[in-house]
Amino acid sequence: MALSSGGIANNIYAQFMRSRLTGRNNIDLANAVGMATYMFVTTPNIVTCTLSGTMGPIGNINSIVTLGIVPAGISGLMMGQAASKKLTGRSISTIFDAASLGLMISLVGLTLTGTAAGIGVGTGTGTFSAAVTDIMSNILLSQEVSKYLKGRNNVDLANCIAFGLVNHIKSAPKITVAVTGAIAPVAPTGPIAVVSVPSVFTKIS
């Protein structure tokens, strides 16, 4: 299923409601995080793939499954960052837990496509190697402003959410991919195996 900002926002807001978070700005916060996350993760080449298989001119990359996105891992990083900024509040951990679960539900359904040179058929993994906390934080802060969220802790809140999401998703390969295409002309000894081939282009949708 393709990602959408509204879909991410709805997943986050649903978790807010399940957690009995009833703040008047909850829907705006969910929409801000949803739009920021969508804009961030759909940046071209935010994911780099490492591929192995059979040599070929150009292979087409397609995601098979997204694994290893753990809500507790995301929210734990958010809470650690909040502690470092002395960001407190009786609902802060509940907000982070709910947002993290909504993000996980959304991201496991992402679709990754792309291309690789020098490999025709194979498999591999994708890592969010180009994800940067400050970029995600700035996007989220701009979305908070656009939703007229003006709390004194908005900057720190955006940074904590971004820090948790970015550092978790880039900590290890999260996407399993397949490569399909034409293999190179067969050498006298048979097809040529290739390993550790990087992607040329990737895009999440």
101: three-class secondary structure by DSSP:
helix
Q: Are 56 and 120 in contact (CB under 8 A)?
A: yes
What is the per-residue pLDDT across 1-44, written as a single tens digit (0 to 9) for each? Answer: 579 999 999 999 999 999 998 878 899 999 999 999 999 999 99
| DSSP state for residue 114 in the 8-state scheme | E
Average pLDDT, the chain: 94
Reference 158, options 38, 29, 43; nearest CA is: 29
Cα R_g (the chain), whole angstroms: 19
Q: What is the pTM of this model?
A: 0.94
What is the per-residue pLDDT across 134-154, written as a single tens digit (0 to 9) for each? Answer: 999 999 999 999 988 877 788
Q: What is d(CA 74, CA 25) in angstroms, rounded to the nearest whole number?
A: 22
DSSP 28-81: HHHHHHHHHHHHHHTSTTSSEEEEEEE--SEEEEEEEEE----HHHHHHHHHHH
Helix and strand counts by DSSP (H, E) for the chain: 6, 7
- Whose structure tokens read 């991919």? 177
The pLDDT of residue 103 is 97
Q: Are 104 and 69 in contact (CB under 8 A)?
A: yes
Reference 137, options 32, 57, 52, 53; nearest CA is: 32
Asked whether the predicted pLDDT for residue 178 surpasses 80, the reply is: yes
The pLDDT of residue 190 is 79
Q: What is d(CA 51, CA 184) in angstroms, rounded to the nearest whole number?
A: 16
**CA distance to 97, 107, 167, per residue, from 8 (Å):** 15, 8, 19
